[in-house]
Structure 1
């Protein structure tokens, strides 16, 4: 395997780790269905506690998969997967070019 493919694989590890949890996957899918949601709105649609949702949102936010929009006292979470999608496209391209 080429060095480029190895580098792209390594750069994807944090993204894969963030998406490896089923609860975080559920949050991503929930945000994909809605423009924006607060922590409380996400909690209402989940079996997890509010602190657990906040924990998962922090991990997703740290990986750039969600962003926060502040409106008054409310914090809305919005799906922001553009950079992650580009990274995954780079991975597919590297694998196709160097591994097949």
Structure 2
């Protein structure tokens, strides 16, 4: 039972680990965590990536559920979605510490 719980916890958090294997996505998430809600243009000004590259990474992060987006007029404002990530990491940590 314990082995299955640990494996389930790893499986739940693997998409987060996979999305953040890329250093550019780590950088984008760091900017969002430190500065809060940002647009693609604001993020592009903060990192050494083109606007299309930032948009591509944001789409991947949005699909993975690690960020959310809010439409404000013509702007799309992105923000981190940390609660589910933290919950998954806590579950994994608890499962590992239980052994």
Correspondence for 2:23: 22
Correspondence for 1:97: 98
Correspondence for 1:45: 46
Which portions of structure 1, spanning 4 or more consecutive aligned residues, are displaced by more than 6 angstroms? none
1:52-99, Cα deviation, whole Å (9 max, x unpaired):
11111111111211110111001101111110110000000011113x
Q: How many positions carry a matched residue from both structures? A: 98
- Name the TM-score, length of structure 2 as normaliser: 0.93
Q: Secondary structure at the match of 1:4?
A: helix
What is the root-mean-square deviation in Å for CA atoms of aligned residues? Answer: 1.1
Question: Aligned equivalents of 1:76 and 1:8: distance in 2?
Answer: 31
Correspondence for 2:10: 9
1:20-41, Cα deviation, whole Å (9 max, x unpaired):
1111010111011112110011
Question: Aligned equivalents of 2:96 and 2:85: distance in 1?
Answer: 17
Are the equivalent residues in 2 in contact too, given 1:64–1:81 (CA < 8 A)?
A: no
Unaligned runs of 5+ in 1: none
Unaligned runs of 5+ in 2: none
